[in-house]
Structure 1
Amino acid sequence: MAHTIPLKTPLDDTGLPRRSAPAAPAPAPAVPADTSRYHHPNFVSAQPSPGHIAFRFRAFTGLEPKPEFPAAAYDDTALNWQLRGDLHDQYQAARVLWSHAWLRHQARPLLHQAAPLWTAWTTARDELTAVFEQFWSTSDGHWRAQLLRLTDAERAAAAAADAFDTVAAKLAQAVADQIDAAGWDEALELETVAKELGIDASDWPVRHVDDYSHPLPQYRIVRGGTAYWGRATPLAASAAQLIAGHRERLREVADLAGDFDPAHSALA
């Protein structure tokens, strides 16, 4: 009787044991493209972290050119989308740091210039308020002299407001340029820069740059003793409103008193 014996090794067509084909060598891992030639000159290192990359740079002075993504990297076929994306992130981080250094460099002399101008304005404003309040204790026979003191105080306050606004406009432009470079989410507060210099700018009305290139409409402005309606920059507008409020109160009193003194009617 025939018996079958299972073979431990399968036979091929020649009747010989089948040999396993040698395993193909594993492909060599792809070598990532070298992007160092595209790094920003201030770049030091990049440390991958979950969800982001932490970039380190040498300190910026603000005098360097604005960091711009190198155009040649767009045409480099050795770079894939991931490498280009990492380079974009690197240059975005560089722009943020550069813009902060740039704003500090631009704003430093302007802040030092604005500080005494702000003090001059607050002094002139307080003097104007004090002169107006003196009408409560000024006798009728001395109103003309008090009106002269009031107009002097008005002119001083208006001039002080204009002087501050002139510098504030430059600060507003510097702030706008920093935001333009880095984006609103990376805006550096002007008050922060001032605090680093030991200057308290928390009360300074440095508004959006458009408020200086397109002044606020319809405020009563007093210049050279003449009152008219026009456009004013932010602090000048505040001064004009203060002056207009005083003038309106004096006109109201003159009307109630039936006073037709030229000195009073000049307030109209």
Structure 2
Amino acid sequence: MLGTTFQVTADELKEIFNVRLAPYLPAHLTKAEPNPSGWGNTYTFKPFTGREPKPETPRRYYDDPKLCFRHQDREAGRPEADEAEYDLREKACHFLDQVYDQARSEWRNARYIADLKTVVSNTGDLFKQHGQAKTAVDAAFTYLRDPKAATEWPAAVSRLIDTHSTLMAAAIAFDERARQIAEVHEQHLYEEAPGYDEALKAAGYPQARDWPIASVHDYGRNYHGEYDRYTLSGQAQALIKEQEEHVAKVGRLTGTPTA
């Protein structure tokens, strides 16, 4: 019986992968070779799309005379494998498990990236539109402090309100897409998938590291009708409230009507 570590000769490795495991290896496996460090093997796969069926170890290998347990030899009426033969079977089964473990890991990573590609779409444009809307709000609010604004106060405040509406709409639009991205991340969170930034970069969106994606649980309104502070909608809502209170206070203290 194999221990926790064991040695495999070059001839044994050829026998295992070219003969014993050949009918059961995943189609995406392109190479199996000893690790340069001298410990274990290195397995190379052609890229997964993530849309293939999940790689599963074929159960039919359990009954293969070149891979089965000794008692199966007896039950099938075959001579029972000697120690050397059975060690080779165990090594082969161990390597088959390794191959499928790595295949599933690479497939899960590919599925995560593919799912992100599906939902990301025009997120970059939505983020840009939010930035432009925020810039317009800042400009409109800053103008209210200009003495010239006093000559057209109601109109200046009205323009600020318009920018508020545009900002809120842009924030909500971005957050809806961000929620979809967060849902994909949540679905793959415990699958040993690549990190969020790494996955989005692999999906072709390196700029996504600048996108403020909150937890999927942070999106939507709470029972007070407010958005979470970690979302762009929540930040826009807080800013608008702050500016409205400022404008109202100015009007109250100066007796300046806004309409």
1:129 and 2:117 are equivalent in the alignment: no
1:230 and 2:226 are equivalent in the alignment: yes
2:149–2:156 CA contact under 8 A, matched in 1? no
1:178–1:187 CA contact under 8 A, matched in 2? no
Deviations 1:138-171 (A, max 9, x none): 5445222222111111111111111112222222
Q: What is the TM-score normalised by the length of structure 2? A: 0.68
The match for 1:148 is 158
RMSD after superposition: 3.4
Give, in whole Å, the separation in 1 of the partners of 2:202 and 2:216: 18
Segments of 5+ residues of structure 2 without an aligned counterpart are 1-11, 70-88
Which has the larger share of strand? 1
The match for 2:72 is none
1:206 and 2:203 are equivalent in the alignment: no
The match for 1:60 is 48
Segments of 5+ residues of structure 1 without an aligned counterpart are 1-28, 219-227
Q: 1:242 aligns with which of 239, 242, 245?
A: 239
CA 1:104–1:126: 2 relative to 1, 3 Å: same
2:54–2:104 CA contact under 8 A, matched in 1? yes
- The alpha carbon displacement at 1:229 in A equals 4.2
Which amino acid is 1:146 matched to?
A: A
Give, in whole Å, the separation in 2 of the partners of 1:91 and 1:45: 13
CA 1:57–1:238: 2 relative to 1, 3 Å: same
Q: What is the TM-score normalised by the length of structure 1? A: 0.66
1:88 and 2:74 are equivalent in the alignment: no
Which amino acid is 2:175 matched to?
A: D
- The alpha carbon displacement at 1:72 in A equals 4.9
1:38 and 2:24 are equivalent in the alignment: yes
- Aligned residues: percent identity? 25
2:226–2:234 CA contact under 8 A, matched in 1? no
- Higher Cα Rg, which structure: 1
CA 1:86–1:253: 2 relative to 1, 3 Å: farther
Which has the larger share of helix? 2
Which one is further off, 113-122 or 59-68? 59-68
1:166 and 2:154 are equivalent in the alignment: no
